[in-house]
Amino acid sequence: MPGLVLVGAQWGDEGKGKITDYLAETADAVVRYQGGANAGHTVVVDGKEYKLHLIPSGILTGKTCIIGNGVVLDPAKFLEEIKYLKDLGVQTDKLYLSETAHVIMPYHQKLDELEEDKRGEFKIGTTKRGIGPAYIDKAARTGIRVIDLLNPEVFRSKLTRNLEQVNFLLEKIYEVEGFNFEEIYQEYSGYVTKLKPFIRNTPVLINESLDENQKVLFEGAQGTLLDVDHGTYPYVTSSHPTAGGACIGSGVGPTRIDGVIGVAKAYTSRVGDGPFPTELLDETGDWIREKGHEYGTTTGRPRRCGWLDGVVLRHSARVSGLTGLAITRLDTLTGLEKLKIAREYRIGNEVIGNIPNDPELLRQVRPVYEELPGWKEDISHLTQFSDLPREAQHYIQAIEDISGVKAPIVSIGRERFQTIIRWPIW
């Protein structure tokens, strides 16, 4: 099985970084295929914490790491992250960057901020990293790609045209100061020498690896419910964190994907605005937030917490064709008397098994819960599924039953070794 995709099965922050890092040990290459520095992956190895935003978590295992064409790249953040890794003794000589990835410009960040403020009560709760505006330019065919930075004339011409439009918008509509061409031109031209060694035609590189039967892991950022097509639109990001996004964002055909692992927390969390049917606005929600340290890696924002939502998991299984689940943070639930999993939603007198596409209806649904007993024993040192307390085993089995997907991976702590593998993944 050389092509394996790993996606978030909820609203992001499911612990994909840890699972990627774990699977990367047996992979030859890891590819990040969408999003940008809005993501935040925390990985703990031998007690040392690594916080990554752009570079695939596979970098910690010394594997080939590729930032695919579907990513929007903030060059300053990318170079900062390389320095951060080098200072920690992590090698980056097998790190490659797609020449067709789009570049985040300072005006993208400014527009992200201004547009969020303008939305008022309808705000999305974006990370304000310029992600949405960068993808807008990509779709509008005005975007600046990594390859464009390498040609001073092309870069000059594209930046000139873009700034004409952006400065008009900023000055006339938002009534704020526009951007200075020379400042941006000099700053971004200054990145070129440092970026050059990493730049490659990455679809060729990735397909060659697959041709040689190497194991390639495609690492999604964010989560299924934040997908611009399959998420809780409009409260979503601007890319495709679902499995289909792996093909588009890295330049491989669907026939090269052999399995899809959905990473899901044993409960649910969400940052940003938008509907969240199983949200707990009570002390249990606060308890999970504190026990699980549920604060954003990128923005530090407190995450909204709630019970596990089986309707969400079935949706993720469907739109990404999940072949397995990795359940993370099971240890966080230790100590709760009772646990709940939403099996369906109720709306008025009707019981529904799917997420309604109308966000207003989604706001009105009430979860129909299945209640399960909790456990009190510390599980964070266990290595076998059969060693887990009976209640914890039942909880995992209930997740499998409700989602229709088996869970070969159960994570019980932040460290690599705190991972129960029930059967081989590839």
Q: Give SS3 for 383.
A: coil
Q: Which token pair is 404?
A: 């229709």
Question: Nearest 5°: CA angle at 294, between 293 and 299?
Answer: 115
Q: Closest separation between CB of residue 241 and ligand IMP, Å?
A: 9
- Which residue, 127 or 403, is less far from ligand IMP as judged by CB? 127
Within residues 301-320, the interface with ligand IMP by CB under 6 A covers none
The H-assigned helical ranges of 169-266 are 181-189, 192-195, 202-211, 243-250
The one segment of 18-26, 123-131, 256-264, 367-375 that binds ligand IMP by CB under 6 A: 123-131
Q: Give SS3 for 188.
A: helix
How many of the other CB atoms lie within 10 Å of CB of 369?
18
> Which residue of 6, 124, 206, 319 would you call a contact of ligand IMP, by CB under 6 A?
124
Q: Closest separation between CB of residue 260 and ligand IMP, Å?
A: 19
Alpha carbon 103 to its chain centroid, in Å, reads 19
- Which residue, 269 or 419, is less far from ligand IMP as judged by CB? 269
Residues 266-295, one symbol each (x = binds ligand IMP by CB under 6 A, - = not), give -----xx-----------------------
- Which residue, 302 or 374, is less far from ligand IMP as judged by CB? 302
Helix (H) or strand (E) holding 304: strand 304-306
Instruction: For residue 189, count CB atoms less than 10 angstroms from its CB and return exposed for 0-12, middle for 13-18, buried for 19 or more.
Output: middle
Residues 6+ apart with CB under 8 A from 125: 116, 235, 271, 272, 273, 274
The one segment of 84-92, 97-105, 119-127, 413-421 that binds ligand IMP by CB under 6 A: 119-127
Q: Closest separation between CB of residue 299 and ligand IMP, Å?
A: 7
> Which residue of 62, 106, 125, 373 would you call a contact of ligand IMP, by CB under 6 A?
125
Q: Closest separation between CB of residue 28 and ligand IMP, Å?
A: 26
132 touches ligand IMP by CB under 6 A: yes
Question: Nearest 5°: CA angle at 53, between 72 and 81?
Answer: 100
Residues 229-268, one symbol each (x = binds ligand IMP by CB under 6 A, - = not), give ------x-xx------------------------------
- Which residue, 54 or 210, is less far from ligand IMP as judged by CB? 54
Q: Using CB positions, name the residue nearest to ligand IMP.
A: 272
Task: Answer for the pair 278, 268: CB distance below 8 angstroms, yes or no.
Answer: yes
Which listed residue (13, 21, 112, 331) is catalytic? 13
Residues 203-222, one symbol each (x = binds ligand IMP by CB under 6 A, - = not), give ------------------xx
Instruction: Find, among 344, 365, 340, 366, the residue nearest to 353 by Cα.
Output: 344
- Which residue, 62 or 125, is less far from ligand IMP as judged by CB? 125
The three state secondary structure string of 164-186 is: HHHHHHHHHHCCCCCCCHHHHHH
Within residues 34-93, the interface with ligand IMP by CB under 6 A covers 38-40
**Residue 13 annotated to the active site:** yes
Q: Closest separation between CB of residue 247 and ligand IMP, Å?
A: 21
> Which residue of 4, 13, 365, 419 would you call a contact of ligand IMP, by CB under 6 A?
13
Number of helices followed by number of strands (H, E) in the chain: 14, 20
Q: Closest separation between CB of residue 296 and ligand IMP, Å?
A: 7
Residue 130's DSSP bridge partners are: none
Residues 143-182, one symbol each (x = binds ligand IMP by CB under 6 A, - = not), give ----------------------------------------
**Residue 102 annotated to the active site:** no
How many of the other CB atoms lie within 10 Å of CB of 356?
17
Helix (H) or strand (E) holding 115: helix 106-119
How many residues line the site for ligand IMP (CB under 6 A)? 20
Catalytic residues: 13, 41
